[in-house]
Amino acid sequence: MKKLAKVCIDFITTLLISPFIVLNSLSKKIGSNESTFVFCSQMLSLIPGKLGNYLRKNFFRFSMEYCDADCLIGFATLFSHSDTEIHKNVYIGPQCNIGKSKIEKNALLGSGVHILSGKGQHNFDDLDTPIQEQGGHFNKITIGEDTWIGNGAIIMANIGKKCVIGAGSVVIKDIPDYSIVGGNPAKLLKSRLPN
Protein backbone atom coordinates (compact mmCIF):
# COMPACT_ATOMS: atom_id res chain seq x y z
CA MET A 1 0.00 0.00 0.00
CA LYS A 2 2.84 2.40 0.84
CA LYS A 3 4.48 1.75 -2.54
CA LEU A 4 1.20 2.46 -4.34
CA ALA A 5 0.81 5.73 -2.42
CA LYS A 6 4.35 6.80 -3.47
CA VAL A 7 3.55 6.02 -7.12
CA CYS A 8 0.37 8.13 -6.91
CA ILE A 9 2.21 11.04 -5.24
CA ASP A 10 4.97 10.82 -7.88
CA PHE A 11 2.34 10.95 -10.65
CA ILE A 12 0.48 13.92 -9.14
CA THR A 13 3.63 15.93 -8.42
CA THR A 14 4.96 15.20 -11.92
CA LEU A 15 1.74 16.69 -13.31
CA LEU A 16 2.12 19.72 -11.04
CA ILE A 17 5.72 20.25 -12.13
CA SER A 18 5.06 19.61 -15.84
CA PRO A 19 5.17 23.32 -16.84
CA PHE A 20 8.76 23.48 -15.52
CA ILE A 21 9.62 20.25 -17.35
CA VAL A 22 8.19 21.58 -20.63
CA LEU A 23 9.90 24.97 -20.22
CA ASN A 24 13.27 23.33 -19.61
CA SER A 25 12.80 20.90 -22.51
CA LEU A 26 11.91 23.71 -24.94
CA SER A 27 14.87 25.75 -23.73
CA LYS A 28 17.24 22.84 -24.49
CA LYS A 29 15.75 22.36 -27.96
CA ILE A 30 16.41 25.96 -28.95
CA GLY A 31 20.00 25.60 -27.84
CA SER A 32 19.77 27.74 -24.72
CA ASN A 33 22.43 27.46 -22.05
CA GLU A 34 21.69 26.10 -18.58
CA SER A 35 19.92 29.25 -17.38
CA THR A 36 16.41 27.76 -17.55
CA PHE A 37 17.54 24.63 -15.69
CA VAL A 38 19.20 26.80 -13.01
CA PHE A 39 16.08 29.01 -12.74
CA CYS A 40 13.85 25.96 -12.21
CA SER A 41 16.31 24.49 -9.70
CA GLN A 42 16.29 27.73 -7.72
CA MET A 43 12.50 28.06 -7.74
CA LEU A 44 11.93 24.46 -6.67
CA SER A 45 14.57 24.65 -3.95
CA LEU A 46 12.30 27.04 -2.01
CA ILE A 47 9.42 24.58 -1.49
CA PRO A 48 9.69 22.97 1.96
CA GLY A 49 8.80 19.53 3.25
CA LYS A 50 7.87 16.32 1.48
CA LEU A 51 5.98 18.17 -1.23
CA GLY A 52 9.15 20.06 -2.11
CA ASN A 53 11.17 16.85 -2.24
CA TYR A 54 8.66 15.17 -4.57
CA LEU A 55 8.48 18.22 -6.86
CA ARG A 56 12.29 18.56 -7.01
CA LYS A 57 13.09 14.94 -7.72
CA ASN A 58 10.35 14.64 -10.33
CA PHE A 59 11.58 17.74 -12.15
CA PHE A 60 15.17 16.46 -12.05
CA ARG A 61 14.08 13.02 -13.31
CA PHE A 62 13.13 14.73 -16.58
CA SER A 63 15.81 17.41 -16.75
CA MET A 64 19.09 15.86 -15.54
CA GLU A 65 21.22 13.25 -17.21
CA TYR A 66 19.84 10.83 -14.59
CA CYS A 67 17.84 11.16 -11.37
CA ASP A 68 16.43 8.07 -9.67
CA ALA A 69 12.85 8.17 -8.38
CA ASP A 70 14.15 6.93 -5.02
CA CYS A 71 16.18 9.89 -3.74
CA LEU A 72 15.72 12.82 -1.39
CA ILE A 73 16.83 16.35 -2.27
CA GLY A 74 16.63 18.74 0.67
CA PHE A 75 15.21 22.25 0.97
CA ALA A 76 17.31 25.09 -0.54
CA THR A 77 19.58 22.71 -2.45
CA LEU A 78 20.70 24.13 -5.80
CA PHE A 79 21.99 22.43 -8.96
CA SER A 80 23.99 24.35 -11.55
CA HIS A 81 24.38 21.70 -14.32
CA SER A 82 21.90 19.32 -15.89
CA ASP A 83 24.83 16.99 -16.65
CA THR A 84 24.37 15.50 -13.19
CA GLU A 85 23.44 12.00 -12.04
CA ILE A 86 21.68 11.14 -8.79
CA HIS A 87 21.36 7.41 -8.25
CA LYS A 88 19.14 5.20 -6.10
CA ASN A 89 18.64 5.97 -2.42
CA VAL A 90 20.81 9.12 -2.44
CA TYR A 91 20.15 11.64 0.34
CA ILE A 92 21.15 15.26 -0.28
CA GLY A 93 20.67 17.43 2.78
CA PRO A 94 19.35 20.99 2.86
CA GLN A 95 21.28 23.98 1.53
CA CYS A 96 23.69 22.04 -0.67
CA ASN A 97 25.15 23.45 -3.89
CA ILE A 98 25.79 20.77 -6.49
CA GLY A 99 27.81 21.28 -9.68
CA LYS A 100 28.42 18.79 -12.49
CA SER A 101 28.54 15.46 -10.68
CA LYS A 102 27.69 11.78 -10.47
CA ILE A 103 26.36 10.78 -7.04
CA GLU A 104 26.25 7.00 -6.83
CA LYS A 105 23.69 4.89 -4.95
CA ASN A 106 23.27 5.14 -1.18
CA ALA A 107 25.46 8.24 -0.91
CA LEU A 108 24.63 10.60 1.95
CA LEU A 109 25.40 14.33 1.78
CA GLY A 110 24.94 16.37 4.94
CA SER A 111 23.66 19.94 5.06
CA GLY A 112 25.56 22.68 3.25
CA VAL A 113 27.79 20.39 1.18
CA HIS A 114 29.24 22.02 -1.94
CA ILE A 115 30.31 19.89 -4.89
CA LEU A 116 32.22 22.08 -7.33
CA SER A 117 32.69 21.04 -10.95
CA GLY A 118 36.40 20.42 -10.38
CA LYS A 119 39.23 22.83 -9.63
CA GLY A 120 39.48 24.52 -13.04
CA GLN A 121 36.23 26.47 -13.24
CA HIS A 122 38.02 29.82 -13.45
CA ASN A 123 41.20 30.68 -15.33
CA PHE A 124 43.20 33.54 -13.84
CA ASP A 125 46.55 33.58 -15.68
CA ASP A 126 45.94 36.75 -17.76
CA LEU A 127 46.41 39.79 -15.52
CA ASP A 128 45.00 42.12 -18.21
CA THR A 129 41.65 40.31 -18.45
CA PRO A 130 39.09 40.19 -15.62
CA ILE A 131 38.90 36.70 -14.10
CA GLN A 132 35.19 36.41 -14.87
CA GLU A 133 35.99 36.81 -18.59
CA GLN A 134 38.81 34.24 -18.74
CA GLY A 135 36.59 31.19 -18.79
CA GLY A 136 37.50 27.79 -17.43
CA HIS A 137 36.45 24.17 -17.69
CA PHE A 138 34.05 21.97 -15.76
CA ASN A 139 34.82 18.41 -14.66
CA LYS A 140 32.21 15.89 -13.60
CA ILE A 141 32.94 14.90 -9.99
CA THR A 142 32.05 11.37 -8.82
CA ILE A 143 30.85 10.61 -5.32
CA GLY A 144 31.16 6.84 -4.82
CA GLU A 145 28.39 4.60 -3.59
CA ASP A 146 27.64 4.41 0.13
CA THR A 147 29.82 7.44 0.87
CA TRP A 148 28.94 9.86 3.65
CA ILE A 149 29.94 13.52 3.32
CA GLY A 150 29.63 15.56 6.52
CA ASN A 151 28.01 18.98 6.85
CA GLY A 152 29.72 21.92 5.17
CA ALA A 153 32.29 19.90 3.21
CA ILE A 154 33.62 21.33 -0.06
CA ILE A 155 34.33 18.74 -2.75
CA MET A 156 36.56 19.51 -5.78
CA ALA A 157 37.79 15.96 -6.60
CA ASN A 158 36.42 12.43 -6.97
CA ILE A 159 35.58 10.37 -3.91
CA GLY A 160 35.66 6.57 -3.94
CA LYS A 161 33.02 4.20 -2.62
CA LYS A 162 32.25 3.65 1.07
CA CYS A 163 34.19 6.71 2.22
CA VAL A 164 33.55 9.05 5.14
CA ILE A 165 34.37 12.72 4.62
CA GLY A 166 34.51 14.77 7.82
CA ALA A 167 32.31 17.81 8.31
CA GLY A 168 33.94 20.98 7.01
CA SER A 169 36.57 19.11 4.99
CA VAL A 170 37.94 20.54 1.74
CA VAL A 171 38.64 17.73 -0.73
CA ILE A 172 41.12 18.83 -3.43
CA LYS A 173 42.60 15.42 -4.41
CA ASP A 174 40.90 12.17 -5.41
CA ILE A 175 40.01 10.01 -2.41
CA PRO A 176 40.43 6.20 -2.72
CA ASP A 177 37.71 3.71 -1.76
CA TYR A 178 37.08 2.98 1.94
CA SER A 179 38.88 6.13 3.16
CA ILE A 180 38.06 8.28 6.17
CA VAL A 181 39.35 11.81 5.56
CA GLY A 182 39.10 15.19 7.25
CA GLY A 183 40.58 18.64 7.38
CA ASN A 184 41.51 21.48 5.05
CA PRO A 185 42.92 20.22 2.78
CA ALA A 186 41.40 16.81 3.52
CA LYS A 187 43.93 14.17 4.57
CA LEU A 188 43.57 10.43 5.03
CA LEU A 189 42.84 9.66 8.69
CA LYS A 190 42.37 5.91 8.30
CA SER A 191 40.87 3.18 6.14
CA ARG A 192 37.50 1.56 6.78
CA LEU A 193 38.96 -1.80 5.71
CA PRO A 194 39.79 -4.19 8.55
CA ASN A 195 43.53 -4.65 9.19
Cα–Cα dist 195/82, whole Å: 41
Cα–Cα dist 63/21, whole Å: 7
Answer whether 177's CB lies under 8 Å from 162's CB: yes
3-class state of residue 151 by DSSP: coil
Q: Pairing between strand 148-149 and 114-115?
A: unpaired
The active-site residue out of 81, 87, 122, 137 is 122
Is 122 a residue of the active site?
yes
Please give the backbone phi and psi of residue 116, each rounded to the nearest 5 degrees, phi first: -80, 160
Which residues are annotated as catalytic?
122
